[in-house]
Amino acid sequence: MGAAVYGRPVTKRLLTASVTRGGGPVKAVGRRDPAAALGGVLGGLPGLSPTARRLLEAGVWAFAEHGYHATTTRDIATRAGLSPAGLYVHYPSKAALLTHLSSIGHDAAADLVTRSLGPDGSAPAEVRLHAMVAAFVAWHAEHHLVARVVQYELNSLDAAALSAITRVRRRMEAQVEAVVADGVSQGTLQVDYPRQATRAVMSLAVDVARWFDPAGRESPRQLGRIYADLALRMLGARTAPHEELP
């Protein structure tokens, strides 16, 4: 059994189908967009050395473009302007680098979910969900390369790392499901299966990272608003917060 992507088992075949086209890795989109990799995600890690930051950035580009298993430590080191030996000063293996990337990405996403849902829970459920989906989708679009790596390379993690990441993912899902359940109990949402509906909404948001292209028609923020409106319709919201898109 593979890892769960918001409830759905992820097998090796599913991972390959999600990130490949015609038998080879999908070319990394947004290659000229630094934010697509780690950008502001690393801003919350002030203790990280400049060299480690370069290695993490290089790992994002390499894993997103070639996939974890086809990427070598030499690939990563070269992109970071180092020799392979230079990589080992900071990470004992490419597996350790992937684990660090996955932890950074998931922690950032989890923090975003908590903040966007509102810690005090005073706003109506549908308002909180709309804000969360809008922010979650925009994050996966803006940081689509790092999101693609952390979401679709789960089966490349070792057992201990996967277990830790799974706990973060389940915590996020539980937070969102609790708000969906609040909306159902308050009568503002109409959904028969809150848990499955939560997974559906989260999965739609996550999948944005797989296909998003910054050269496309919608910006991350615009896409977030569109998905947030769609999510509330899926959840049977009687009214939906609405804001005209620029």
| In the predicted structure, residue 4 carries a pLDDT above the cut 80 | no
Distance CA 153, CA 64 (A): 9
Distance CA 174, CA 152 (A): 21
What pLDDT is stored for residue 23 in this prediction?
32
| In the predicted structure, residue 49 carries a pLDDT above the cut 60 | yes
Least confident of 21-35, 42-56, 139-153, 163-177: 21-35
| In the predicted structure, residue 25 carries a pLDDT above the cut 60 | no
User: pLDDT confidence of 44, banded at 50, 70, 90?
Assistant: low
Q: Which of 230, 213, 241, 177 is nearest to 7 (CA)?
A: 177
pLDDT in tens, 179-191: 999 999 999 999 9
Element containing residue 21 per DSSP (H, E): strand 20-21
| In the predicted structure, residue 81 carries a pLDDT above the cut 60 | yes
Helices (H), the chain: 12-19, 50-66, 73-79, 84-90, 94-117, 125-142, 144-152, 159-186, 194-211, 220-234
What pLDDT is stored for residue 39 in this prediction?
60
Greater pLDDT, 1 or 76: 76
Q: Residue 201, Cβ neighbours under 10 Å: how many?
A: 27
pLDDT in tens, 190-208: 999 999 999 999 999 999 9
The torsion angles phi and psi of 24, rounded to 5 degrees, stand at -130, 165
What pLDDT is stored for residue 73 in this prediction?
94
Percent of the chain with pLDDT over 70: 78
Percent of the chain with pLDDT over 90: 67
Rounded average pLDDT over 163-187: 95
User: pLDDT confidence of 50, banded at 50, 70, 90?
Assistant: confident
**Domains in the chain, CATH or no CATH each:** 3-40+103-234 (1.10.357.10)
